[in-house]
Chains A and B, each alone.
Chain A
Amino acid sequence: MSNPMPGVEIANTNKLIAKYDNETKTIFGFWVYIMTDCVLFASLFAVFAVLRNNTFGGPSGAQLFSLPYVLAETLVLLSSSFSCGLAVLSAQKRHKNHVIFWFLITFILGAIFLTLELNEFHKFIAMGDSWRRSGFLSSYFTLVATHGLHITIGLIWMAVMIGYIIKRGITDGVLKRIRLISLFWHFLDVVWIFIFTIVYLFGVLK
């Protein structure tokens, strides 16, 4: 088999390698960042585990938490993780409108989750059980709110992404970013599994 232009062939291959390397490099870098963020959450979990019984005369988790409410939050976040995955699938097929649709769904579900969480905080604070009440509540609010802060950052990022996709369509650069944001969003769902289990489910066990 002969190739009429071997030089061009090699140059193209080099460009492809460079492009592939660049993309895997960014995604791997973001993965390492996510791992460091896991350690950040782990430290907060450790603090929660140590302070969980320090209610200082205030309410315990079992007295505060409403499990059906938290279950609803969990399912909303899980669904948003799923719809984020569907956005990536559409992006791989370069279906611009599908991507925008699924990201909008993800954004709305994420916003609902955040509203539910803030509403829960508001309820506790209105009852006088804010983070000032006890060591337990300090650690509860900080752990859950740190997750909420990440969700907020994710929502801002997603809003920017949607604008970006509308303006530029799905280029290679945009596809890379879509992969990054989906990684971030799935990671937040993974962290929530542990918040759901350790903070809420363990918290109400008798």
Chain B
Amino acid sequence: MIMGTIFASFWLGKLNLKALPPNYIQMGGAVMILSILLGLLLFITVTKKWKWLYREWLTTQDPKKIGVMYILVALGMLLRGGADVALLRTQQSISVGHNMGILSASHFQQIVSAHGTIMIFFVAMGLMFGIINLIVPLQIGARDVAFPFLNATSFWLFFAGMILVNASLVLGDFAATGWLAYPPLSELRYSPTVGVDYWIWSLEIAGVGSLMAGINFIVTILKMRVKGMSFMKMPMFVWSVLGSMFLVAFAFPILTVCLTLLALDRDLGTHFFTAGGGGNMMMYVNLIWAWGHPEVYILVLPSFGIFSEIVATFSRKRLFGYTSMVWAIAAIVLLSFTVWLHHFFTMGAGSNVNGFFGIMTMIIAIPTGVKIFNWLFTMYRGKIKMDSPMLWFIGFVVIFTIGGMAGVLMAVPPIDFQLHNSLFLIAHFHMMIVGGVLFGDFAGISYWFPKIFGFKLNERLGRLVFWLWFIGFLVAFIPLYILGFMGATRRLDHYSAGLGWQALFIVAAIGTVLIGLGVGVQILQIVISVRDRKKLRDTTGDPWDGRSLEWSTPSPVPVYSFARLPHVTERDAFWVAKRHKIKDKSSYEDIVLPKNTPLSMVIGISAFATGFGIVWHIWWLAVVGLLSVVVTIIVRSMDEDTEYTIPASEVKKMDRQLRAEGGLR
């Protein structure tokens, strides 16, 4: 018997039957995620797509495909995070007085943490990296990123982290600590289950992936621009990505340290953030926000870039104040490292410290304001076309400005003391992350969709999607400002009837339903557009009369991206070439591209095994996973045959054919 227990604890660690979901609602979640997974696997098997999937997608090193995979995973996670919201808002609208609602307090807290974690790390980051992968190389006239293998590996680490977060639905539980898991609550003593470990290791793995992607794109942008594209001739999206990636490179190591120290506290008995033993829990809060604040700008800068492209294209004017935009990005990058304390004004620092960080927070609003005005001046006297990307921009300006004003309000420490951890704050940061980041990513997707897939999305449904999201969002979050003033705190699973909050919570829930409808129509829009793809086909490669280099290629973009490298002499290179009828000049040449390899995926699977092993204390699995990563890296570094060449004659033939079909210049 004892031998049996020792045997089981060696092979399975802490894992046993008790890890299965304890009640029907949690069981429902587990069954849902498993049936989605099985359904997908079954579908692929029935349609005999495994070979195709493996060869065309799973092993690919092409950033254009990796970008699509990022976006697919992120949209899937948007549904997961959205399902979480449905539960949360239902609970909050009915759990009043004697009615305890449908969720237990602990389960409610787990869902809140999962919602935040998934939406930031696997939706916002996923959409951002997806669009960056798709567009940055094209905009700088490069055929690939600097390190294709590293890029694919980044994606697979992101994927491994995503699987680990969702595994917590089936085995064990998730952190009931909020999305940043402050100690001492997240310490072993107060959170003894595996929930916090799932949180730590999924973010650790996805975070390393993001860090590598950050390095990759810094090098891509700095070293791989096409001849003639000096810094001040780069499209604004590329500038904003460069700023964002600098933040990734310098902020994510802080997150790695922070998570590792918490894991050491939990697994090895160190005293970094414990309440006793000489630990200092405030240091955790300090460190996690030293990463967390730059993270906000990591997400929002690329969205700013997307809007800069869209506003210029749809106003048919040059971007107003290009130079000031560049300096605004630089200022934001620097300042975003100097404001992190405003997330914990109430921790008890003196007035010098609070005052300094309050002032810095107000200062960082200035470059953001500069950008807003630049976009508005770009529109001024432009010939504006109100297509759906432009609608997203208008929605963004409205919501982001309201949310931004609320932010500046909270930059004043005494006011923050009133509003800290209230629903006012929740409304504020959702306006930044949804209105700023998500609207930008949606705008970018509908703007670049024809470039990637070769046909436009259905415009009428696109408009409906926008209006449902926009109105739904306002209905869902304006009540939270009011509730915040009335004293409602965040992560509230129950309140007494006498407070009179229920009506507003129900209004917020109605807003959530509207957003849910928006998501439904979004799915419908994709289905309908795929059905009508012949009618919506983009034959020109330039459906919006675009300005930057990606529009000079045929849609969908061929594997080599540019048959002949474009010449850049000015900003908005493609626009200038169109207007002045400049013909393509460089000759066809042999094109070298990376070969497919499954090793990136192997690293992702191994990282997942390591993470899962550490979460459940299955140490053999963790060691095997880690060794597998090391061996895979060594094997890869030994391989000198990683590229293939498309001969110039072949490129010429393919290019002529594509351009003849589409009637391109």
Contacts and interface: CB of A to CB of B under 8 A. Distances in A.
Interface of A: 14, 21, 24-26, 28-29, 32-33, 35-37, 39-40, 43-44, 46-47, 50-51, 54-56, 58, 131-132, 134-136, 138-139, 141-142, 156, 160, 164, 173, 177
Contact of A50 (B215, B283, B630, B634): B283
Interface in B562-597: 589
B545 to A, nearest CB: 33
Contacts of B250: 35-36, 39
B279 to A, nearest CB: 5
Contact of A25 (B146, B270, B278, B283): B146
A136 B270 CA distance: 10
Given A36-B211, A36-B215, A40-B256, A56 B264 contact: no
Interface residues of B, number: 41
B449 to A, nearest CB: 31
B322 interface: no
Given A40-B253, A47-B257, A135 B278 contact: yes
B271 interface: yes
A81 B250 CA distance: 26
14 contacts: A26-B147, A32-B249, A36-B211, A36-B214, A36-B252, A43-B290, A44-B257, A55-B278, A56-B271, A132-B277, A134-B278, A138-B272, A141-B270, A142-B261
B474 interface: no
B486 to A, nearest CB: 38
A131 B218 CA distance: 37
A142 B270 contact: yes
A47 to B, nearest CB: 6
Contact of B271 (A29, A134, A156): A134
Given A39-B250, A164-B638, A131 B268 contact: yes
State the majority secondary structure of interface residues on A: helix
Given A36-B249, A43-B287, A51 B223 contact: no
A90 to B, nearest CB: 21
B497 interface: no
A8 B300 CA distance: 48
A50 B280 contact: yes
Interface in B92-122: none
Interface string B457-484: 0000000000000000000000000000
B216 interface: yes
Interface string B621-639: 0000000001000100110
B224 interface: yes
A47 B215 contact: no
A22 to B, nearest CB: 10
B270 A35 contact: no
A185 B363 CA distance: 41
Given A33-B215, A40-B256, A138-B270, 10 more contacts: A28-B219, A29-B146, A36-B252, A43-B257, A54-B278, A131-B264, A135-B274, A136-B278, A142-B270, A177-B637
A45 to B, nearest CB: 10
Contacts of A29: 146-147, 215-216, 219
B269 interface: yes
7 tightest Cβ-Cβ pairs between the two chains A and B:
A135-B278, A56-B278, A54-B278, A138-B270, A40-B253, A43-B257, A134-B278
A25 B224 contact: yes
A131 B270 contact: yes
Contacts of A24: 223
A14 to B, nearest CB: 8
Contacts of A138: 264, 270-272, 278-279
A165 to B, nearest CB: 13
Contacts of A14: 589
B603 interface: no
Contacts of A142: 261, 264, 270, 272
Contact of B223 (A21, A40, A50, A131): A21
